Amino acid sequence: MDKKEIEYRISELKLDYIRLQNDLEKLESVDGKLSPLEKQIASIEEELSELRKRLRE
């Protein structure tokens, strides 16, 4: 992956993260099942961290 591809992927992940956070808030308000969304959010956080690390290198 080159720098532009990494930056594009980061922007995609940020949008997904925001969407999932909104979904999580909605589910919390109706006492829905949160663990699948929490796992997805954690996965996005890990991928973002890895991509940012690759950008710094």
Nearest CA to 40 out of 19, 20, 15, 25 is that of 20
Q: Residue ranges per domain, the chain?
A: 3-56
Contact of 48 with 7, CB cutoff 8 Å: no
Which residue has 């969304």 as its token pair?
37
Rounded Cα distance between 14 and 26, Å, is 19
The structure's pTM equals 0.84
pLDDT in tens, 6-18: 999 999 999 999 9
pLDDT category at 34 given cuts 50, 70, 90 is confident
